Structure 1
Amino acid sequence: MTSTETAASLDHLVRQVLLPDSEPSKPVLELLPVPTSCSDAVNTQWYALAALICRHMVQSWYSRISDDPGFVTEMVEVLAKISRDVDTRLQTIDYETALLDGLPYLIDSHFEAVDRAKALQGSAFLPVNSLSEGLRVFRPHRAISGVPDDHSELVYQKLLAQQITTILLKRQKIDSKVAHAFISAILHDVVLTTLFERLSEPWMLYEIIIKVCDLLPDNSKTPEKNDNGGGRVVETLGYLVSNGVTIATETFYAARTYVRSGFDFYEKNSVDPTLADQQDEGDSDKEKENERKTRIAPKPVTSRYFFQLLVNISNIRAKKPLLASTLSYLSVFLEMQPLAVSIRNVVVNSMNKHVLREKTAELILRSARTTLFPNNGPMGAPRVLPTVLEQYDIRQNARDALSRVFPPFVGNVTTDIDLWLDHLSNKEVNKLLLYYLCDYLLQLAFPELSEKVE
């Protein structure tokens, strides 16, 4: 919550739009259905955003066909129901795989395709006039055909919104054409259109990079990067030792948890693939199957694609082949037990501490609201385009933020990060990346989207 925004102001906003006749002495969250399993702070942000969306949609859409005063109340109940369903779906996602494998792989693959398109653009192998045209050859997407005025992007977004709406309402057994049209309009007009049109701006992506890096540990607080090669080994060892303390600490807490929870807890969370698969005789077949799934060995963290992405960003193979070879050699030992368990605990706990927390959800909801509805007013036009100088400053800040993620023994990565950020300098190219990322995340939350229709 910003310094100028208080709980009382949000309460007033929600009450004014959704509960105009309510008793002022009662908190709004006691008068409305619970939208998520999160804290009151998150739910308040959720309702503040929902209130502004409802106000916008009713004024621009529903009021033209009806003046039913109970419509908003009915739609709020529908939104709360499907929000709880989405909340449940989000809790089932394997974030370890998504954040450390899926998303980094998609980003890196996209950047590799951009490099190929740049290298071949205008040649006999790729006779195109623009980078976005060339990229569509390597990474085509049904939403962007490249044919002028064919409306493929609009059609794709509307169909996607309708499919998601159908899945959500069917799950809640809500059979209402009005509710379907209302939710579908919100998903398309407010969410998808905004997502692809606004976030594809290079400076917007640079700002997102800054915000994401702010959630990660700051490695610039470790010993200063040394330009004198003689002290590099000592510096590297010092960094590893300092992080070894963290690993040891996490291992201690993990061991204590295992002792307190019994060996069964360790058995379910271990990376050892040879564990016995025995259950109590009273368990059902379904419970046995679920238990077997939990005992599948998780992929060692050090073999996740996220680290491959960091290697590619820092260009460490070209700059420091000996260091790259050493790290590759050490990774074999880091994937062995019991060290693999300790490292996984460190990474997963760090994700939970810095990224997968309720505060992140609160920040996302607030950012969405302030972006879509400046000063809680009418839905605003896209943010005023920063000047060339301002965009340059944003990019420099993104570069500096990424630099702080890398440990000091990697060396100066400023130039390499600049080259990496060049991949995000084209809006149409960025839009293609966003479509692939969106498709991946939606399939994680809505596996029904990938089912074939017979």
Structure 2
Amino acid sequence: MTAVVTPRAPTPRPKAPATVSFSTETTSAAPTTPLTAPAAARIRPPIQGGASSRRSGRSSPTDFLSDKATAAFIRRVLCQQHISDKETTPPPIEELLPPLTSRNDVDLQLYALIAVILREYVQAWYSKITPDGEFVQEIVHIIAHCTRALEQRLRKVDLESLLFDELPDLLDRHIFARRAAREPVSSPPTEIDPRTVYHALCPVASLSPVPQVGDPQSIASQQENESIYRQLLVEGVLAVLLPTEDLENGCLTSLVGQIFSELIIGNVLANRLSQPWLIYECLIILARVVGSKDSEPTEYGVEEAVHAGSEAPLPTPARRRWSLQSTLQSTLQSTLWTLVHWLFLAFAMARLVITTLAMCSSLPPRSAEGADEETEVTGKKSIAKTPDPPSNPHEAQPVKAPIFEFKLWICLSNLIEMDARMPWLSGSLSMVQFGAVNGPGRLAGLNGPIDRLLSHTIHQRILDAAHLPMLLRSVRAALFPNNAPGVSTLKAPSSDEELRALRRRCASALLGTVPPWLARLYLGGRRPGPRWRSGPESTGAAKERADASEGDTGATSRDENVEAVATSSGEGKGMDDESGTKSPRGGDGDEDQQQMLSDIEEGILDLFSDEYCNKHLIYGMLELVLVRLFPELAEKGTAELLQERLNL
């Protein structure tokens, strides 16, 4: 009886879902309590512990992420001159600080990040010199001016082409250069450094000379050039964004430049995101998120059914006698129901196609001049003006291409090695792509029905401004737990064995996102060919192959122990990594499973196993984004921009 009444318990209290607490314990326990339990739970804390216990019971580790706590934190750090005012209702943040963007919810999260950075890295030493808070206010005004100017420039950028065409093109070049650098092109006596080959294929001025392991001078020279390059990038951006009076203040511009060049670009982008282990951890988290959306409800239902069947097995039904008439009747019924299901499916598909075509006809064209375009930061519509013809070829914006011809599809195909594994599938998809873009009706051509529908879906699902506050909130919770630099849960491996285990765990997580039948079909065929593996696994893999050929069982047992730690697999269960992502079992057992995991490691994960090569990709993406936002950087250097602005 309690199971029937329980779902009605939250009905009299509609405010319960609006709480800020993210704890899953209360939500999981609510469906199992009887109707009178919430009232008793609400009455018991005041009797036992008083007001202090009630306050401690309501607190949670994620309270600092609430809007009220965030606004209070911003007032304490950035609005100290208003704290002394004894007002019952403090003014809102937008009345105390200059706006950063045209959305208040985005400004709240951005100011929270700015407050943490200024408190930890500026006020920590500046407060020891003088108690004056005007210096921090000047920094806030400079940042606000930069963000507003950046928002105006962001409205003029084609984000579809930037995110799904140009950036994937850089990733595709990185994939090609990494595989070309690993391929042996000479006999064994002659050795070629893969980093040198990669740097020759994808040259970046700030990453030269190529650092050598036994040459500390080359490493120091490369790091110095990289630091100078970051400072030049930030100075060029500030020369374009800042007004003249702020640009003439050398102290403020130097401090803001150091914050952006060293703290943001240097520590976060270059030195953190280029680490192979961090890329593996990010892929594991992404695989866990994708797997939880698709498989968790089904897995929970299956587990409940299994537990229910194990605890109370159903009685064996009595054996029935089947006659020819009953067999024909059941066959006709199943055929009839199958036909009905197919008719419903055909009706639903026809309705979907008709609705889609009707909606596509009303969607605005992508490349129409003067059409309204919705920005991804403000969420408001602005009129796109016809740009003047560029005087410099580097300033020219890329030609708008159909979504079916974006480099994203080529990058994904090369990443999973479709040309080598299934060339017939690659050719078939290319024919379908060519027919949809250039065939009769040009359905997927530029501004075609499918092209406009895909563009509309991208803007509604991915480039929606409503996702920015939650994204910034998650970034703050990950980088600064409790609004302070904390110990990250993602720790670098301390040995090559831990890195191998993390790499195998990442491969297992990626394999778990693919259906088992598709994994066996795609990865179970012939391998593309021998590969070279970089990083700590290259030597280990060579030794394992040599020991296996010599019949050494000791190395084999050690490898099995490493695989057991990395994959956390048992004999009677599928592979389940530490992130909670389950991997499908191979068709022929552990041998096929390990073969598929090795293919993922060598074919995909090894592309990001070198920190120096990853920096080429990161700086290439950073340069592309800055050039699209600030076309002046492509035609003039930093010194020329500063001379024009300061009249030197």
Per the alignment, residue 508 of structure 2 pairs with 396
Are 1:256 and 2:362 an aligned pair?
A: yes
Secondary structure of 1:198's counterpart equals coil
Shift of 1:307: 1.0
- Structure 1 contact 101–305 (Cα < 8 Å) conserved: yes
- Structure 1 contact 166–180 (Cα < 8 Å) conserved: no
Per the alignment, residue 79 of structure 2 pairs with 19
- The correspondence for 2:199, drawn from 107, 130, 136, is 136
Are 1:362 and 2:469 an aligned pair?
A: yes
Per the alignment, residue 167 of structure 1 pairs with 240
Per the alignment, residue 272 of structure 1 pairs with none
Shift of 1:30: 3.3
Q: What is the one-letter code of the residue matched to 1:202?
A: P
Cα separation, partners in 2 of 1:63 and 1:382, compared to 1, 3 Å: farther
Per the alignment, residue 45 of structure 1 pairs with 109
Q: What is the one-letter code of the residue matched to 1:396?
A: S
Q: What is the one-letter code of the residue matched to 2:248?
A: D
Shift of 1:167: 1.9
Secondary structure of 1:149's counterpart equals helix
Name the CA distance, whole Å, in 2 between partners of 1:264 and 1:198. Answer: 37
Q: What is the one-letter code of the residue matched to 1:354?
A: R
Per the alignment, residue 113 of structure 1 pairs with 177
Per the alignment, residue 629 of structure 2 pairs with 445
Name the CA distance, whole Å, in 2 between partners of 1:211 and 1:319. Answer: 27
Cα separation, partners in 2 of 1:304 and 1:417, compared to 1, 3 Å: farther
TM-score by length of structure 2 reads 0.55
Q: Which moved more, 1:316-325 or 1:185-194?
A: 316-325
Q: What is the one-letter code of the residue matched to 2:234?
A: A
Shift of 1:61: 5.3
Per the alignment, residue 251 of structure 2 pairs with 178
Per the alignment, residue 88 of structure 1 pairs with 152
Q: What is the one-letter code of the residue matched to 2:207?
A: I
Name the CA distance, whole Å, in 1 between partners of 2:293 and 2:428. Answer: 21
TM-score by length of structure 1 reads 0.76
- The correspondence for 1:303, drawn from 402, 405, 417, is 405
Name the CA distance, whole Å, in 1 between partners of 2:203 and 2:163. Answer: 24
Post-superposition CA distance 1:191-250 (Å, at most 9, x none): 1112100111123224445677799999979xxxxxxxxxxxxxxxxx999999766544
Shift of 1:117: 0.8
Cα separation, partners in 2 of 1:452 and 1:72, compared to 1, 3 Å: closer
Secondary structure of 2:205's counterpart equals coil
Name the CA distance, whole Å, in 1 between partners of 2:508 and 2:464. Answer: 28
Are 1:345 and 2:408 an aligned pair?
A: no
Per the alignment, residue 148 of structure 1 pairs with 219
Post-superposition CA distance 1:299-330 (Å, at most 9, x none): 22212111111222333333333332222222
Structure 1 stretches of 5 or more lacking a match?
A: 222-238, 270-285
Q: Which moved more, 1:46-55 or 1:168-177?
A: 168-177
Name the CA distance, whole Å, in 1 between partners of 2:181 and 2:99. Answer: 49
Q: What is the one-letter code of the residue matched to 1:148?
A: I
Name the CA distance, whole Å, in 1 between partners of 2:292 and 2:354. Answer: 20
Per the alignment, residue 313 of structure 1 pairs with 415
- Structure 2 contact 139–252 (Cα < 8 Å) conserved: yes
Post-superposition CA distance 1:385-413 (Å, at most 9, x none): 25544554345334545x48xx9799546
Name the CA distance, whole Å, in 2 between partners of 1:247 and 1:214. Answer: 33
Post-superposition CA distance 1:268-295 (Å, at most 9, x none): 77xxxxxxxxxxxxxxxx967679xxxx
Cα separation, partners in 2 of 1:378 and 1:306, compared to 1, 3 Å: closer
Q: Which moved more, 1:6-15 or 1:316-325?
A: 316-325
- The correspondence for 1:77, drawn from 141, 164, 168, is 141
Q: What is the one-letter code of the residue matched to 1:317?
A: D
Name the CA distance, whole Å, in 1 between partners of 2:416 and 2:346. Answer: 18
Shift of 1:424: 0.9
Structure 2 stretches of 5 or more lacking a match?
A: 1-19, 23-61, 211-217, 296-344, 372-383, 390-397, 524-595, 641-648
Name the CA distance, whole Å, in 2 between partners of 1:240 and 1:191. Answer: 53
- Structure 2 contact 278–490 (Cα < 8 Å) conserved: no
Q: What is the one-letter code of the residue matched to 2:623?
A: D
The CA RMSD measured in Å over matched residues stands at 4.0
Per the alignment, residue 424 of structure 1 pairs with 608
Cα separation, partners in 2 of 1:68 and 1:245, compared to 1, 3 Å: farther
Name the CA distance, whole Å, in 1 between partners of 2:366 and 2:411. Answer: 35
Name the CA distance, whole Å, in 2 between partners of 1:411 and 1:240. Answer: 28
- Structure 1 contact 141–432 (Cα < 8 Å) conserved: yes
Q: What is the one-letter code of the residue matched to 2:361?
A: A
Shift of 1:103: 1.0
- Structure 1 contact 165–183 (Cα < 8 Å) conserved: no
- Structure 1 contact 169–175 (Cα < 8 Å) conserved: no
Per the alignment, residue 552 of structure 2 pairs with none
- Structure 1 contact 215–355 (Cα < 8 Å) conserved: no
- Structure 1 contact 14–47 (Cα < 8 Å) conserved: yes
Higher RCO (CA 8 Å, separation ≥ 6 residues): 1
Per the alignment, residue 374 of structure 1 pairs with 481
Name the CA distance, whole Å, in 1 between partners of 2:629 and 2:201. Answer: 27
Q: Higher Cα Rg: structure 1 or 2? A: 2
Are 1:10 and 2:75 an aligned pair?
A: no
Q: Which moved more, 1:309-318 or 1:372-381?
A: 372-381
- The correspondence for 2:272, drawn from 167, 179, 198, is 198
- Structure 1 contact 247–343 (Cα < 8 Å) conserved: no
Cα separation, partners in 2 of 1:435 and 1:307, compared to 1, 3 Å: same
Identity of aligned residues (%): 26
Cα separation, partners in 2 of 1:449 and 1:77, compared to 1, 3 Å: same
- Structure 1 contact 371–383 (Cα < 8 Å) conserved: no
Q: How many residues align?
A: 408
Shift of 1:332: 2.0
- Structure 2 contact 239–247 (Cα < 8 Å) conserved: no
Q: Which moved more, 1:23-32 or 1:7-16?
A: 23-32
Secondary structure of 2:219's counterpart equals coil
Shift of 1:179: 2.3
Name the CA distance, whole Å, in 2 between partners of 1:383 and 1:60. Answer: 26
- Structure 1 contact 203–395 (Cα < 8 Å) conserved: no
Q: Which moved more, 1:408-417 or 1:69-78?
A: 408-417
